[in-house]
Amino acid sequence: MRATLSKIKDYLLKHRHDPVPEQLKWLRRVLQSHMNYFSVPGNGQTINAFRTAVQKIWYKALKRRSQRSRLNWKKFGAFINTVLPKVKVLHPWPEQRFDVKYSR
């Protein structure tokens, strides 16, 4: 998780002056693909921690765009919770997944 967050941080710092909708589109894809792979039952807290860490990294990158930034965490949090994908379990428990019966 640390390596992935480091790569996200590097990307966002390099592309911090790109338009916010472009950054948001990229972040949505990154978060959704991370959740598609790691969102198994019992891993919700870790996925939520990853999403929160990505939010903090993006907030810091956006704050560094200008010396007179008016962005605060409260306003940013309200915005980010509406646009980034929510944490949810996407895969069933292994017992349910392997218990499928096929009619043959």
Tell me what pLDDT residue 98 has.
65
Tell me if residue 58 falls in helix, strand or coil.
helix
Q: What percent of the chain has pLDDT over 70?
A: 89
State in Å, rounded, how far the first CA of the chain is from the last one. Answer: 42
- Find tokens 């390099």 and name the residue: 14
Residue 69's pLDDT band, with cuts at 50, 70 and 90, is confident
Q: How far apart are CA 96 and CA 41, in angstroms?
A: 11
Mean pLDDT of 14-36: 92
Residues 11 and 68: beta-carbon distance below 8 Å: no
pTM to 2 decimal places? 0.81
